[in-house]
Structure 1
Amino acid sequence: MTPSGTRARQADEARNRVRLMIEITARAGAYRKGLIAATRRLSPEEAVILSDLERHGLQVPQLHDVLCGGHVLVDDPQLYEDWRFDEVSHPRLSSHHRDIDKSLYPDIGMRGDVVREKLHGRTAQGTWVQLEKTPAAFGGRKLPSMSDLRHLMDYVIYRLTRSNVGPWGLSRMTERYPMYLAPVLAVSTSLTPAVAGLLTQALRRIEAADDVTSASQDLAARFPPPDRADLTEELGRSLTGRAGRGLFGSSEVWITETPSRSAAAVFRESRVPPAVGWWRTGGPT
């Protein structure tokens, strides 16, 4: 396959993955109408931005706040350059992160069917990004347009609700209380009861059919796995360290230790008395 063909295939895979992420989060969250239809017109540039957020730790439930205008800080300054697309990006004026030299690092806008108006810029240590419902082009000597007036209305809503106005809803994650993403940071998030129930059923089926830890079925029966009331706790919400599974845990699965009290509980629950005399007689008693 030619290099151009490889890039096209990778772009298609990224768009399909982002569409799937949005469809999953749309089942549990409330959005303005038209989101699913907009994903069918997702551009490669939009897919790159959302895929990069996922690569830096974004979980599927957190995508809701991103699509609703949440202010996101990413611990990666290279994204500022990666998200400057020659054909679709344009300079923007904004009041975000005034401590940054805007002549050196101007804020960058981009329009799309899903992101509507994407705005991003530099921070002292990384990159920030925020999706807006209404694009604005203040500056120069041009007269305000209808889009500018709608942007002002969004600002009024922000002042009244203390929530950012995103393309598909409102988010409480403002510049003052942002979402923070980093490759080495796992973020806890809750699951809806319906999703948690389905995941628990799936994990129990996997656990029941996956006992390959012993060559002896009799021995395996004497040492059953721990009886956890909620298997979804393994999905990254209450495990320590970088714990979790895939997008729902924001990291790889890491096993660090086996608590001694768990091992003790296994031995206490065993009803089979240990054979203690075989080494004294040279064989089993």
Structure 2
Amino acid sequence: MDRKHPLAGVTRSGRSGAAARDDARARQAEQIRERVRLMIEITARAGAYRKGLVAATRRLSPEEAVILSDLERHGMQVPQLHDVLCGGHVLVDDPALYDGWKFDGLSRPRLSSHHRDIDKTRYPDIGMRGHVVREKLHGRTAQGTWVQLEKTPAAFGKRKLPGPDDLKHLMDYVVYRVTRSNVGPWGLSRMTERHPMYLAPVVATSTSLSPPVARALTAALRRIEEDDDVTSVSQDLAVRFPPPDRQDLAGELGQALTERGGRGLFGNSEVWVTETPSLVAAQVLAESHQLPGQGSTRTGGADE
């Protein structure tokens, strides 16, 4: 079932309450679009792209913004956005994105050779065209969703004759075979299906402990906690303020951090060296100030 993302379209209603909600969605949509535009402009300062990317961001559609903002929400950092725009193959362990990236009137079934282990009858690959993504292609994986941006859309399939775009797509495939790099809308990426970019991987597994192991682990954790309790502060204060009495210490191990719990949008990014953050701050720091007591001596008067 196609899901209408709140940023994909805003309908006006005669009711005041619905109109207020529509206005709020419109403001939120524009904020997310502006955020994605800024992310793309930042990467354009630090990386090389084909010409026209910054101009294309001015026509960024709400649907394109949804896809890129969803990737950022799942851990994509600014340096990784470069590979995404250059056609990198991205895996996200979130099956809900498959339906979330279907947009009424824009998305269409597509044929592709990616992830052949998936039942394409049940989960067909989905294509969408846009000014920035050019041709977005996504589908299901066993654990979640994959997505890849392509330079040239391909429309050939059953009962369809190849067109000019299909011939260009075949030329992109030749470039892929020669360079071993995906041909994206704004460059080449080494992040192929065999060596993909993996966002938000589900690596946590649950396992049960045998009773002897659980008892030994709990005893060790309590001993560590007691040692920390008497060494972190004075013994008198430790007695007055005991730590919380938790029954299952072993059960707290391996709990995942909330949200991404990682390095943030600008982790591993070098875009901060591209220019001085503040011209005013740079001007102030460049001025030479004479500290009090240097080069002059103040003598007290008669009233001191």
The correspondence for 1:18, drawn from 36, 44, 49, is 36
Contact between 1:164 and 1:171, CA under 8 Å: does it hold in 2?
A: yes
Contact between 1:116 and 1:132, CA under 8 Å: does it hold in 2?
A: yes
Secondary structure in 2 matching 1:136: coil
User: In the alignment, does 2:148 pair up with 1:130?
Assistant: yes
C-alpha distance 87-243 of structure 1, shift in aligned 2 (>3 A) = closer
Secondary structure in 1 matching 2:78: coil
For each residue in 1:158-181, what CA deviation from the matched residue of structure 2 results, as whole angstroms up to 9, or x when unmatched?
000000000000000000000000
Contact between 1:45 and 1:85, CA under 8 Å: does it hold in 2?
A: yes
The aligned amino acid for 1:173 is M
User: In the alignment, does 2:59 pair up with 1:41?
Assistant: yes
User: In the alignment, does 2:21 pair up with 1:3?
Assistant: yes
Secondary structure in 2 matching 1:11: helix
C-alpha distance 125-56 of structure 1, shift in aligned 2 (>3 A) = same
User: In the alignment, does 2:186 pair up with 1:160?
Assistant: no
- Measured in 1, the distance between the counterparts of 2:28 and 2:158 equals 40
The correspondence for 1:54, drawn from 60, 72, 79, is 72
CA shift for structure 1 position 141: 2.1
Contact between 2:93 and 2:202, CA under 8 Å: does it hold in 1?
A: no
CA shift for structure 1 position 184: 7.6
The correspondence for 2:126, drawn from 97, 100, 108, is 108
Per the normalisation by structure 2, the TM-score is 0.62
Secondary structure in 1 matching 2:79: coil
State the percentage of identical aligned residues.
81
Contact between 1:56 and 1:182, CA under 8 Å: does it hold in 2?
A: yes
CA shift for structure 1 position 249: 2.8
- Measured in 1, the distance between the counterparts of 2:28 and 2:105 equals 19
Give the match for residue 90 of structure 2: 72
Give the match for residue 82 of structure 1: 100
For each residue in 1:90-127, what CA deviation from the matched residue of structure 2 results, as whole angstroms up to 9, or x when unmatched?
10000000000000000000000000000000000000
CA shift for structure 1 position 4: 1.0
Q: For 1:131-280, what aligned pairs fall within 5 Å after superposition?
A: 131-182=149-200, 242-244=261-263, 246-249=264-267
Secondary structure in 2 matching 1:109: strand
C-alpha distance 144-104 of structure 1, shift in aligned 2 (>3 A) = same
Give the match for residue 193 of structure 1: none
Structure 2 residue runs of 5 or longer lacking an equivalent are 1-18, 204-259, 269-304
Give the match for residue 96 of structure 1: 114
The aligned amino acid for 2:25 is R
The aligned amino acid for 2:171 is M
C-alpha distance 122-243 of structure 1, shift in aligned 2 (>3 A) = closer
Contact between 2:87 and 2:183, CA under 8 Å: does it hold in 1?
A: yes
CA shift for structure 1 position 142: 2.2
For each residue in 1:8-65, what CA deviation from the matched residue of structure 2 results, as whole angstroms up to 9, or x when unmatched?
1111011000000000000010000000000000000000000000000000011000
CA shift for structure 1 position 242: 4.7
For each residue in 1:253-279, what CA deviation from the matched residue of structure 2 results, as whole angstroms up to 9, or x when unmatched?
xxxxxxxxxxxxxxxxxxxxxxxxxxx
CA shift for structure 1 position 183: 7.2
CA shift for structure 1 position 3: 1.3
Give the number of aligned pairs: 194
CA shift for structure 1 position 73: 0.1
Contact between 1:57 and 1:183, CA under 8 Å: does it hold in 2?
A: no
- Measured in 1, the distance between the counterparts of 2:90 and 2:36 equals 17
Secondary structure in 1 matching 2:83: helix
Per the normalisation by structure 1, the TM-score is 0.66
The aligned amino acid for 2:148 is Q
The aligned amino acid for 1:74 is V
